[in-house]
Structure 1
Amino acid sequence: METNAEWEARCRRCGRCCYEKIEYEGRVYYTDRPCDKLDLGTMLCSVYEHRHIEKAECLALDQAALNRGILPADCPYVSELVNYNAPQLCDESEE
Protein backbone atom coordinates (compact mmCIF):
# COMPACT_ATOMS: atom_id res chain seq x y z
CA MET A 1 0.00 0.00 0.00
CA GLU A 2 1.28 3.46 -0.90
CA THR A 3 1.96 6.18 1.60
CA ASN A 4 0.24 9.53 1.12
CA ALA A 5 3.54 10.99 -0.15
CA GLU A 6 3.90 8.19 -2.72
CA TRP A 7 0.29 8.69 -3.85
CA GLU A 8 0.79 12.45 -4.22
CA ALA A 9 4.05 11.87 -6.11
CA ARG A 10 2.11 10.22 -8.94
CA CYS A 11 0.73 13.60 -9.98
CA ARG A 12 2.43 15.22 -13.00
CA ARG A 13 0.96 18.65 -12.17
CA CYS A 14 -0.75 18.96 -15.54
CA GLY A 15 -3.84 20.58 -14.00
CA ARG A 16 -6.31 18.81 -16.29
CA CYS A 17 -8.21 17.35 -13.34
CA CYS A 18 -8.89 20.93 -12.19
CA TYR A 19 -11.05 21.80 -15.18
CA GLU A 20 -14.81 21.85 -14.77
CA LYS A 21 -16.49 18.61 -15.68
CA ILE A 22 -20.08 17.85 -16.51
CA GLU A 23 -21.85 14.52 -16.40
CA TYR A 24 -24.31 13.74 -19.16
CA GLU A 25 -26.06 10.43 -19.77
CA GLY A 26 -23.58 8.56 -17.61
CA ARG A 27 -20.45 10.03 -19.22
CA VAL A 28 -18.07 12.61 -17.81
CA TYR A 29 -16.95 15.47 -20.06
CA TYR A 30 -14.24 18.07 -19.54
CA THR A 31 -14.98 21.69 -20.32
CA ASP A 32 -12.48 24.41 -21.16
CA ARG A 33 -13.20 26.21 -17.85
CA PRO A 34 -10.51 25.82 -15.18
CA CYS A 35 -11.28 25.97 -11.48
CA ASP A 36 -10.84 29.50 -10.17
CA LYS A 37 -8.30 28.12 -7.68
CA LEU A 38 -6.04 26.72 -10.42
CA ASP A 39 -2.99 28.91 -11.05
CA LEU A 40 -2.70 28.74 -14.84
CA GLY A 41 0.95 29.77 -14.74
CA THR A 42 2.10 26.90 -12.54
CA MET A 43 -0.88 24.55 -13.09
CA LEU A 44 -1.02 24.12 -9.32
CA CYS A 45 -3.95 24.61 -6.97
CA SER A 46 -3.57 27.89 -5.11
CA VAL A 47 -5.38 26.46 -2.05
CA TYR A 48 -4.22 22.83 -2.28
CA GLU A 49 -3.90 22.14 1.44
CA HIS A 50 -7.44 23.43 2.05
CA ARG A 51 -9.01 22.71 -1.35
CA HIS A 52 -11.88 20.60 -0.01
CA ILE A 53 -12.87 23.43 2.34
CA GLU A 54 -12.34 26.28 -0.14
CA LYS A 55 -14.03 24.45 -3.00
CA ALA A 56 -16.62 21.93 -1.83
CA GLU A 57 -16.94 20.35 -5.29
CA CYS A 58 -13.23 19.49 -5.37
CA LEU A 59 -13.08 15.72 -5.11
CA ALA A 60 -10.50 13.79 -3.17
CA LEU A 61 -8.62 11.41 -5.45
CA ASP A 62 -9.76 8.26 -3.72
CA GLN A 63 -10.90 5.00 -5.31
CA ALA A 64 -14.52 6.17 -5.55
CA ALA A 65 -13.49 9.27 -7.50
CA LEU A 66 -11.24 7.25 -9.79
CA ASN A 67 -14.12 4.88 -10.51
CA ARG A 68 -16.27 7.84 -11.65
CA GLY A 69 -13.93 8.47 -14.58
CA ILE A 70 -12.89 12.03 -13.79
CA LEU A 71 -9.20 11.84 -14.74
CA PRO A 72 -7.59 11.72 -18.20
CA ALA A 73 -6.67 8.23 -19.40
CA ASP A 74 -2.95 9.06 -19.34
CA CYS A 75 -3.05 10.26 -15.72
CA PRO A 76 -0.71 8.21 -13.51
CA TYR A 77 -3.52 7.74 -10.98
CA VAL A 78 -5.58 5.72 -13.47
CA SER A 79 -3.13 4.56 -16.14
CA GLU A 80 -3.02 1.05 -14.68
CA LEU A 81 -6.79 0.64 -14.27
CA VAL A 82 -8.27 -1.93 -16.64
CA ASN A 83 -11.23 -0.70 -18.72
CA TYR A 84 -10.95 2.82 -17.32
CA ASN A 85 -13.63 5.05 -18.82
CA ALA A 86 -11.86 8.42 -19.15
CA PRO A 87 -13.73 11.69 -19.65
CA GLN A 88 -14.06 13.22 -23.08
CA LEU A 89 -13.57 16.83 -24.04
CA CYS A 90 -16.90 18.64 -24.18
CA ASP A 91 -17.50 20.33 -27.51
CA GLU A 92 -19.79 23.12 -26.38
CA SER A 93 -20.28 24.28 -29.96
CA GLU A 94 -22.54 21.25 -30.44
CA GLU A 95 -24.96 22.36 -27.71
Structure 2
Amino acid sequence: MSEARRLPTLRPRFWEKLPLEKLTQPEWEALCDGCGKCCLNKLEDADTGEVAFTRVACRLLDDDTCRCAHYENRHQFVPDCVTLTSENIQTNAYWMPSTCAYRLLAEGKPLPSWHYLVSGDRNMVHTAGISVRHITVSEFDTPEEDWEDYLFEGEF
Protein backbone atom coordinates (compact mmCIF):
# COMPACT_ATOMS: atom_id res chain seq x y z
CA MET A 1 0.00 0.00 0.00
CA SER A 2 1.39 3.43 -0.86
CA GLU A 3 2.32 5.97 1.80
CA ALA A 4 -0.38 8.34 0.56
CA ARG A 5 -3.05 5.66 0.99
CA ARG A 6 -1.98 4.79 4.52
CA LEU A 7 -1.73 8.43 5.61
CA PRO A 8 -4.43 10.30 3.66
CA THR A 9 -4.63 13.20 6.10
CA LEU A 10 -1.08 14.43 5.54
CA ARG A 11 -0.78 17.77 3.82
CA PRO A 12 1.94 17.97 1.14
CA ARG A 13 5.35 18.94 2.62
CA PHE A 14 3.62 19.96 5.87
CA TRP A 15 6.92 19.87 7.78
CA GLU A 16 8.26 22.73 5.65
CA LYS A 17 5.15 24.88 5.83
CA LEU A 18 3.77 24.59 9.35
CA PRO A 19 5.07 25.13 12.86
CA LEU A 20 5.01 22.03 15.02
CA GLU A 21 2.05 23.26 17.08
CA LYS A 22 -0.11 23.47 13.92
CA LEU A 23 0.39 19.84 12.88
CA THR A 24 -2.43 17.33 13.05
CA GLN A 25 -1.81 14.20 15.13
CA PRO A 26 -1.16 12.05 12.01
CA GLU A 27 1.32 14.68 10.74
CA TRP A 28 3.04 14.77 14.13
CA GLU A 29 3.35 10.98 14.20
CA ALA A 30 4.59 10.95 10.59
CA LEU A 31 7.67 12.94 11.60
CA CYS A 32 9.11 9.88 13.33
CA ASP A 33 11.71 8.38 11.00
CA GLY A 34 11.82 5.03 12.83
CA CYS A 35 15.48 5.23 13.86
CA GLY A 36 14.78 3.90 17.37
CA LYS A 37 17.36 6.20 18.99
CA CYS A 38 14.86 7.81 21.34
CA CYS A 39 14.11 4.34 22.75
CA LEU A 40 17.66 3.85 23.93
CA ASN A 41 18.45 4.29 27.59
CA LYS A 42 20.53 7.36 28.24
CA LEU A 43 22.89 8.43 30.98
CA GLU A 44 22.86 12.06 32.07
CA ASP A 45 25.79 13.65 33.89
CA ALA A 46 24.34 15.28 37.02
CA ASP A 47 27.00 18.01 37.00
CA THR A 48 27.08 18.98 33.32
CA GLY A 49 23.66 17.83 32.07
CA GLU A 50 25.42 16.07 29.20
CA VAL A 51 23.42 13.14 27.82
CA ALA A 52 25.15 9.98 26.64
CA PHE A 53 23.31 7.42 24.54
CA THR A 54 23.77 3.75 25.31
CA ARG A 55 23.02 0.73 23.13
CA VAL A 56 20.74 -0.51 25.91
CA ALA A 57 17.25 -0.48 24.42
CA CYS A 58 13.92 -0.03 26.12
CA ARG A 59 12.23 -3.37 26.67
CA LEU A 60 9.60 -2.43 24.07
CA LEU A 61 11.94 -1.57 21.19
CA ASP A 62 11.70 -4.06 18.33
CA ASP A 63 15.31 -4.40 17.15
CA ASP A 64 14.23 -5.37 13.61
CA THR A 65 11.83 -2.51 12.93
CA CYS A 66 13.29 0.06 15.36
CA ARG A 67 9.73 0.79 16.45
CA CYS A 68 7.95 0.41 19.76
CA ALA A 69 6.33 -3.01 19.94
CA HIS A 70 3.44 -1.61 22.02
CA TYR A 71 3.36 2.07 21.06
CA GLU A 72 -0.32 2.71 21.86
CA ASN A 73 -0.06 1.00 25.27
CA ARG A 74 3.58 1.77 26.08
CA HIS A 75 2.79 3.68 29.29
CA GLN A 76 1.27 0.55 30.79
CA PHE A 77 4.64 -1.18 30.42
CA VAL A 78 6.98 1.81 30.74
CA PRO A 79 5.22 4.46 32.83
CA ASP A 80 8.03 7.01 32.48
CA CYS A 81 8.12 6.83 28.66
CA VAL A 82 8.00 10.44 27.48
CA THR A 83 5.18 11.44 25.16
CA LEU A 84 6.77 14.06 22.96
CA THR A 85 4.47 16.96 22.00
CA SER A 86 4.84 20.36 20.37
CA GLU A 87 4.35 21.81 23.86
CA ASN A 88 7.24 19.88 25.46
CA ILE A 89 9.72 19.46 22.58
CA GLN A 90 11.72 22.51 23.64
CA THR A 91 12.35 21.11 27.13
CA ASN A 92 12.92 17.55 25.89
CA ALA A 93 14.99 18.20 22.74
CA TYR A 94 18.30 18.01 24.62
CA TRP A 95 17.97 14.23 25.10
CA MET A 96 16.66 13.53 21.61
CA PRO A 97 19.22 12.43 19.02
CA SER A 98 20.64 15.18 16.81
CA THR A 99 19.09 13.45 13.76
CA CYS A 100 15.54 13.45 15.20
CA ALA A 101 12.97 15.21 13.00
CA TYR A 102 11.17 16.65 16.02
CA ARG A 103 14.38 18.15 17.34
CA LEU A 104 15.53 19.37 13.92
CA LEU A 105 12.25 21.12 13.19
CA ALA A 106 12.07 22.61 16.70
CA GLU A 107 15.55 24.02 16.07
CA GLY A 108 14.47 25.47 12.71
CA LYS A 109 16.51 22.96 10.67
CA PRO A 110 15.37 20.96 7.62
CA LEU A 111 14.77 17.24 7.51
CA PRO A 112 17.76 15.26 6.19
CA SER A 113 17.69 13.75 2.71
CA TRP A 114 17.41 10.21 4.10
CA HIS A 115 14.19 10.99 6.04
CA TYR A 116 11.37 9.07 4.40
CA LEU A 117 9.20 12.19 4.07
CA VAL A 118 11.95 13.62 1.83
CA SER A 119 13.30 10.46 0.18
CA GLY A 120 10.01 8.56 -0.10
CA ASP A 121 11.75 5.44 1.23
CA ARG A 122 10.93 4.30 4.79
CA ASN A 123 13.91 1.94 4.71
CA MET A 124 16.40 4.73 3.98
CA VAL A 125 16.90 5.42 7.72
CA HIS A 126 18.36 1.92 7.99
CA THR A 127 20.22 1.98 4.66
CA ALA A 128 21.87 5.28 5.61
CA GLY A 129 23.04 3.78 8.91
CA ILE A 130 21.03 6.21 11.01
CA SER A 131 18.92 3.67 12.87
CA VAL A 132 19.89 1.40 15.76
CA ARG A 133 18.74 -1.72 13.92
CA HIS A 134 20.54 -4.82 15.17
CA ILE A 135 23.02 -2.95 17.38
CA THR A 136 21.10 -2.81 20.65
CA VAL A 137 21.21 -4.92 23.78
CA SER A 138 18.24 -5.63 26.01
CA GLU A 139 17.74 -3.72 29.23
CA PHE A 140 16.55 -7.03 30.72
CA ASP A 141 19.94 -8.62 30.02
CA THR A 142 22.08 -5.61 30.94
CA PRO A 143 22.31 -4.46 34.55
CA GLU A 144 22.09 -0.68 34.91
CA GLU A 145 25.53 -0.55 36.54
CA ASP A 146 26.96 -1.92 33.26
CA TRP A 147 25.30 0.61 30.92
CA GLU A 148 28.47 2.70 30.70
CA ASP A 149 30.04 -0.27 28.90
CA TYR A 150 27.53 0.27 26.06
CA LEU A 151 27.99 3.98 25.33
CA PHE A 152 27.93 5.30 21.77
CA GLU A 153 30.92 7.38 20.77
CA GLY A 154 30.74 10.56 18.72
CA GLU A 155 27.77 12.40 17.22
CA PHE A 156 24.41 10.89 17.84
Q: Same fold (TM over 0.5)?
A: yes
* Structure with greater proportional strand content: 1
How well do the aligned residues superpose, as a CA RMSD in angstroms?
2.1
Normalising to structure 2: TM-score of the pair? 0.50
Deviations 1:31-90 (A, max 9, x none): 11011110101111111001122101211112435523121111110113339xxxxxxx
Say yes or no: does 1:33 pair with 2:56. Answer: yes
Say yes or no: does 1:59 pair with 2:82. Answer: yes
Shift, 1:92, TM fit: 2.8
Deviations 1:1-55 (A, max 9, x none): 1011000000010101000012212122211101111010111111100112210
Bigger Cα Rg: 2
Runs of 5+ consecutive residues of structure 2 not aligned to the other structure: 1-21, 109-146, 150-156
Q: Which residue of 9, 20, 28 corresponds with 1:7?
A: 28
Q: Which residue of 30, 34, 48 corresponds with 2:71?
A: 48
Partner of 2:118: none
Normalising to structure 1: TM-score of the pair? 0.78
Runs of 5+ consecutive residues of structure 1 not aligned to the other structure: 84-90
Q: Write the letter of the residue equivalent to 2:26.
A: A
* Aligned residues of 1:10 and 1:76 also touching (Cα < 8 A): yes
